[in-house]
Amino acid sequence: MAQVAIFKEIFDQVRKDLDCELFYSELKRHNVSHYIY
C-alpha cells in the first residue's frame, strides 16, 4: 500500500473517531518520524 493511501486511511479513521491515541499509535506503527500540524 502506498504511503499516501496509508495516511488517507489513518486520517479518515481519526476524523471519524476523533481518537488521538489511535492516531499516535498508527503513526508509530508506520514509523512516521515527523508530525503534521
∠ Cα 26 5 3 (to 5°): 70
State whether the Cα torsion 5-34-37-15 is positive or negative.
positive
Rounded distance between C-alpha atoms, residue 30 and residue 8, angstroms: 13
Listed residue (25, 16, 20, 13) closest to 37, CA to CA:
20
| pLDDT at residue number 25 | 78
Residue 37 has pLDDT above 50, yes or no: no
Instruction: Supply the pTM of this predicted model.
Output: 0.36
Residues 13-35: pLDDT tens digits?
767 766 667 677 777 777 665 55
